[in-house]
Amino acid sequence: MLLFLRMTFPTDTASIWNRIDNIDPIAYGQTRNYIQGDVTYLSPYISRGVISPRQVAAAVLAKGYTTQQIQRFLQELAWREYFQRVWQQLGDDMFDDIRVNRTPLHSSQLPAAIANACTGIEAIDQGIETLYRTGYMHNHLRMYTASLVCNIAKDYWKLPSQWMYYHLLDGDLASNTCSWQWVAGSFSSKKYYCNQENINKYCNTDQQGTFLDHDYSVLPSMDCPDLLKESSRPSLHTVLPTTALPTIDPSLPLHIFHNYHLDPQWRADEPANRVLLLEPSHFKQHPVSEKVIDFIIALAANIEGLQIYCGEFSDIPFAYQVPAVYTREHPAYDHIPGIKDPRDWMFPEVKRFYPSFFGFWKKATPYLKDLTSSPLQTAAVC
């Protein structure tokens, strides 16, 4: 019951900050790989820009932990930043193989057994059903699912990654895309495999005799199991609500929020027109489920005076006549004109492309001492 409650995602700021207050970074480092481990369940709020990884790091360090004590916790926050930097540097090239992938492919679709949650691997099937029901999947299960698709069924990573992104409340295009490529071997030095023993260990199952019940040395040379051969093409379409044109005061600046920028504190004290922009062109390229749209809109309710507009920026009245347009930098919204405030990076000094996370982490380590504060940090709500 406790796990189920933590896998629900309230959208009010008090609940979000209470969740930050309750982080145990030591337990996280020791148990995060277990399906019932002490993970934070903060990823939907970080992905949507309600809070930043640096805010979370600063709040935890304020409790007296040293960076060495909670290095694993900080590394997991930094993985998210690393993937964002990859997108920032590569642009849309991130959505193709970052390295050459020479794997013989069975198809470029999604195994029907994955889409229908009937692979016969209990933990993975339950994880997919949970994803459909809640919009969340434990990170280890995401890796297991991607490994099954890319390295056992030998399907190309792109459409399956889009399928998973479609359902995730914490859908982060950089983290999701790069993680699938990491598993598939097109953004790593080797492919990621899991066997039944490993799944049993971390998912509290006791299955035997499945097509994954082999030594790791066997898995790379396995033929695609019959159960995974049938392919499907999931229907991924975004249904946006119908909204009126926003009412714009042309004498005031225009503050643009979007699905990755829902920070209720951002420029909150400034008189402005505030618009949550949900562009059909973006969601045609990167579709998400109705559950995800509802979650985004619910989070946006924390932003005072916000108008929701499902349309293109160019169609906002007076969009090009207001004194200034402000938003927050993000590769998906480079096309929005005006001033783009920087994000609250954990390591603003570490910007360039690194082919591996640990190359990035090596450059970031000298700046760990600076994480004790965040320009965006507020007092936790108890």
% of residues, the chain, pLDDT over 70: 95
Confidence tier at 380 by pLDDT (50, 70, 90): very low
Residue 106 is predicted with a pLDDT of 74
Residue 102 is predicted with a pLDDT of 64
- Average pLDDT score over residue span 244-267: 98
Residue 237 is predicted with a pLDDT of 97
- Average pLDDT score over residue span 243-249: 98
Q: Is residue 162 pLDDT above 90, yes or no?
A: yes
98-105 long-range contacts, Cβ below 8 Å, gap at least 24?
98/178, 98/181, 98/186, 98/187, 99/185, 99/186, 99/187, 99/188, 100/186, 101/184, 101/185, 101/186, 103/150, 103/151, 103/154, 103/184, 103/185, 103/191, 104/154, 105/154, 105/155, 105/156
Instruction: Write out pLDDT tens, residues 94-116.
Output: 999 998 766 667 778 999 999 99
Q: Is residue 377 pLDDT above 80, yes or no?
A: no
Q: Is residue 71 pLDDT above 80, yes or no?
A: yes
Query: How does the average pLDDT of the chain come out, rounded?
Result: 94
Residue 103 is predicted with a pLDDT of 65
Confidence tier at 362 by pLDDT (50, 70, 90): very high
The strands making up 339-341's β-sheet, listed across from edge to edge, are 306-309, 273-277, 254-257, 325-328, 339-341
Q: Is residue 29 pLDDT above 60, yes or no?
A: yes
E-state strands within the chain: 110-111, 231-232, 254-257, 273-277, 306-309, 325-328, 339-341
Q: Is residue 3 pLDDT above 60, yes or no?
A: no
Query: What single letter denotes the amino acid at residue 88?
Result: Q
Instruction: Write out pLDDT tens, residues 288-337.
Output: 999 999 999 999 999 999 999 999 999 999 999 999 999 999 999 999 99
How far is 148 from 111, CA to CA, in rounded Å? 9
Confidence tier at 2 by pLDDT (50, 70, 90): very low
Instruction: Write out pLDDT tens, residues 186-216.
Output: 999 899 999 999 999 999 999 999 999 999 9
Q: Is residue 378 pLDDT above 50, yes or no?
A: no
DSSP label of 341: E
Residue 100 is predicted with a pLDDT of 77
